Amino acid sequence: MMDFTLWDIVRNLLLSMRWTVVLSLIAFIGGGVVALLLTVIRLSPSRWVQWPVMAYVELFQGTPLLMQLFLAFFGLGALGIQVSAWTAATLALVLFTSAFLTDIWQGCIRAIPPGQWQGARVLGLGRLQTLHHVILPQALRLAIAPTVGFSVQVVKGTALASIIGFVELTRTGTMLNNATFKPFLIFALVALGYFLLCYPLSLYARHLEKKLNVTGSR
Amino acid sequence: MSLVRVDALHKSFGHLEVLKGIDLKVSAGEVVSIIGRSGSGKSTFLRCLNQLEQHDSGRIEINGQVLDANSMAPALLSENVGMVFQNFNLFPHKTVGENVMLAPMIVRGEREREASRLARRMLERVGLADRFDAWPEQLSGGQQQRVAIARALAMSPKVLLCDEITSALDPELVGDVLKVLEQLARDGMTLILVTHEMSFARDVGSRVVFMHQGRIHEQGDSREVLSQPRTPELQQFLSAVR
Amino acid sequence: MAMALDFSALAPYGGEVAAGVATTISLTAVATLVGITAASVLAWLKLNGPAGVRWGIQAYVELVRNTPFIVQLFFIFFGLPALGVSLEAWVAALIAMTMNLTAYATEIVRAGIESIGKGQLEAARVLGLSRRQTYRHVVLVPALRKIYPALTNQCIIVMLGSAVISQISVEELTWAANFIASRNFRNFEAYILATLIYLALSIGMRQLFRLAGWHFLGGRQGRPSS
């Protein structure tokens, strides 16, 4: 067994953080695109269209991300579709993220007071015109802070990809621990790595929330 | 010919029958004040006139057009009817000018230049020409309500509905809004108001409609009805208000 | 060719699944009770305590909220023995779950407390209530009412997150699913079953919280008290 210096450990962890960042970005952007589609679909006045979207959100919010990862990885494998840990992790995290973002964005649209719909309606604006010119611009503003806030959950969620063998920060930590038997140091460093990624996002989300509150609803 | 004609209007919310058969005719240029206790159905009635609430049965005809929210687009429903709300409902993400310009541009397809000119003219009518670029939140309640009036007027409605438009205002701001309404009445605008401002109803209004338990209980010339109410219910209501 | 799904292959493992569900529920219940109680105290200290305490609580909350649960778990289970603190797996899991919930709930409760208007505090003051009495009767209960939906969600998130403690061999629901998969290689069926049970648990928890809220808080949760 080779000896690891502190620098070896830190360097390996830093290098593996790349994959945490890449996976987070893909999950967040991919999830955002899917959520955008679902949010638009959810705006349909028909219950039969709304219902599947609500069920989708409920399903992903009501089950563990770990199970979603297992189903994507082992489950698809059992069905004869062989997927890599990378594909399974990406798929599960994108779907997971999309469900939460759909819920957040839907909530922002619902938070716009009914008076805004009525004000537009009595001026003769149709449903889509009202959404486009009156509701969505205001909802978008409301959505920014919680969306940034949720990105922290996505980064932390990628840690579970380690369990199906995707080599990112947490997985690298476990492997280093197996090689060095310095669990206290290594998991503290792993935690620090996540903290360095997540804390700025948390601070930014809080800053946005304050800023948007101060300027009021404009 | 009547500008507004309502026949046998019924409306229920679940088991609660709110409107139990309303008949009303309003001629062009009339200023009709609807008064009554809360729960008498007056706001619901007003909101039926532009189909914010859909009636269950009966008939509403405005400027020769029968209203039906199921078959008519919002643009058609509000072609002849403007509305001002108790809580203004200005669009907070748009400036005062943009609030007024929005509907002319989107619904009528006017160009920005025309719409902007129209908006300035409407804001002038309510005495706020200089606040074109302000944000709604920078204005007092009374000013916001005048912007809401200008916004409604920009669509050149035949009838303007006002739903307790001074109720959310501080007392010292009520006067400015009423003055704008008074000027509109003098210019010949047809107004239907739900209001608690009895002196305004008497001095500016041409007719008072007293609603009680989902029906029109008493109506007539505003001075007459307010000074010599015939039914005990209206007498009681007026003595409570004063 | 894909295998056909065969859920009957799961039947022999009913005992493991039931035991797993029981463990998941017990750990969640303890973490919820301890976590919410601790959070109520920490939230009060965060707003009223001395500067050092406030800073300490803030640091704790930020640390927990900005690191993954699995890393916290590994740190407690694998890392602490290096300092001479050796914990059984289920104890480490319970500590991690409670710690996690406490941090989130502290923030939620604090936001609830801050939403109580100054007028309420002044009204309590002129009625002669002490600071402690005011916190308990005028602030905490209305605040809990207001944040109840958020608190419910957070407890459900902790329950769902507990799937991860299977990684340190706590024999809960996910562990049971893994166990079945390792015996009969029916991965898909085992995980679908576990997923459905988790879904039922989260729906059940939501109902339970609703009933409990009705009972203890008077059934007006989540609506602004106006």
* pLDDT interval class at B20 (50, 70, 90): very high
How large is the average pLDDT for residues B174-197?
Answer: 94
The share of chain A scoring above pLDDT 90, in percent, equals 83
Give the pLDDT of chain C (226 residues) as one tens digit per residue: 345 677 777 778 888 999 999 999 999 999 999 999 999 999 989 988 899 999 999 999 999 999 999 999 999 999 998 888 889 999 999 999 999 999 999 999 999 988 888 888 888 888 878 888 888 788 888 888 889 999 999 999 999 999 999 999 999 999 999 999 888 877 888 999 999 999 999 999 999 999 988 887 775 544 443 3
CATH pick for C15-217 out of 1.10.3720.10, 3.30.70.890, 2.60.200.20, 3.40.190.10: 1.10.3720.10
CB of C138 within 8 Å of any CB in chain A?
no
Predicted pLDDT at C187 = 82
Chains that touch C (3 or more CB pairs under 8 A): A
A183 shares contact with chain B (CB less than 8 Å): no
- Chain B nearest-CA distance from A114, in A, is 9
The answer to whether C20 touches C171, Cβ cutoff 8 Å, is yes
Over residues B28-44, the pLDDT tens digits come to 999 999 999 988 999 99
Q: Amino acid letter at A174? A: T
Number of domains in chain B: 2
The ipTM is 0.91
% of chain B with per-residue pLDDT over 70? 100
Same domain, B75 and B163: yes
Range of the domain at B4: 1-80+159-170+177-242
Nearest CA in chain A to C174: A67
Q: Do chains A and C touch (3 or more CB pairs under 8 A)?
A: yes
CATH number for the domain that contains residue B49: 3.40.50.300
Give the CA distances from residue B231 to residues A207, B21, B43, B198, in Å, rounded to whole numbers and listed in that order. 62, 19, 22, 17
Answer yes or no: do A122 and B92 touch at CB < 8 A. Answer: no
Among chain B residues, the shortest Cα distance to A132 is held by B106
Q: What are phi and psi of A131, to 5 degrees?
A: -60, -50
Cβ-based neighbours of A104, under 8 Å, separated by 6 or more: A143, A146, A147, A150
Q: Which residues of B touch A140 (CB under 8 A)?
A: none
Q: Are residues B149 and B59 in the same domain?
A: no
The secondary element (H helix, E strand) that includes residue C191 is helix C187-217
Same domain, B17 and B53: yes
Q: What are phi and psi for residue C157, nearest 5 degrees?
A: -60, -40
| Chain A residue nearest residue C72, CA to CA | A191
Q: Is A63 in Cβ contact with C195 (below 8 Å)?
A: yes
Chains B and C touch (3+ CB pairs under 8 A): no
- Asked if B165 and B237 sit in the same domain, the reply is yes
How many other β-carbons are positioned within 10 Å of the β-carbon of residue A52? 12
Cβ distance A78 to C188 less than 8 Å, yes or no, reads yes
For B44-85, write each residue's pLDDT tens digit.
999 999 899 999 999 999 998 999 888 888 888 888 999 999
Q: Are B166 and B178 a contacting pair, CB within 8 Å?
A: yes
Specify whether B130 is located in the same domain as B203: no
Which pLDDT band holds residue A107 (cuts at 50, 70, 90)?
very high
Instruction: Kindly list the domain boundaries of chain C, sorted by start residue.
Output: 15-217
Q: Note the pLDDT of residue C225.
A: 39
pLDDT of amino acid A79: 75
Given a cut of 80, whether residue A106 has pLDDT beyond it is yes
- Mean pLDDT score of chain B: 93
Tens-digit pLDDT profile for residues B82-141: 999 999 999 999 999 999 999 999 999 999 999 999 999 999 999 999 999 999 999 999
The number of beta carbons lying within 10 Å of the beta carbon of residue B137 is 12
Q: What pLDDT shows up at residue A60?
A: 96
Provide, as residue numbers in chain A, all residues whose Cβ is less than 8 Å from the Cβ of B75. Answer: 124-126
On whether the CB atoms of residues C88 and C24 are closer than 8 A, the answer is: no
**A213 inside 8 A of chain B by CB:** no
Same domain as B29, residue B14: yes
Tokens of B120: 């300035």
Q: What is the pLDDT of residue C13?
A: 83
Show Cβ contacts of residue B59 under 8 Å, excluding neighbours closer than 6 positions.
B5, B6, B7, B8, B9, B66
CA distance C198 to C173: 8
Strand partners, B31: B191
Domains of chain A (ranges, CATH numbers) = 6-214 (1.10.3720.10)
Residues B4 and B74 in one domain: yes
Give dist(CA C22, CA A47) in Å, integer: 37
What pTM value is reported for the model? 0.86
* Closest by Cα among B128, B60, B51, B48 to B96: B128
B183 and B63 in a common domain = yes
Q: Are residues B75 and B112 in the same domain?
A: no
Residue C130 has a pLDDT of: 82
Same domain as B92, residue B70: no
Q: How far apart are CA C180 and CA A187, in angstroms?
A: 30
Are B76 and B163 contained in the same domain?
yes
Three-state secondary structure call for residue B211 = strand
CA-CA distance, B90 to A113, in Å (whole number)? 11
pLDDT at residue number A28:
97
Residue B23 sits in the same domain as residue B100: no
**pLDDT tens digits, B188-204:** 999 999 999 898 999 88
**Closest to C162 (Cα-Cα) out of C72, C226, C222:** C72
* Residue A127: C-alpha distances to residues A39, A66, B75, B145 (Å): 15, 40, 11, 24
**Using CB atoms within 10 A of its CB, is residue A39 exposed (0-12), middle (13-18) or buried (19+)?**
buried
Residue with structure tokens 């799904």?
C5
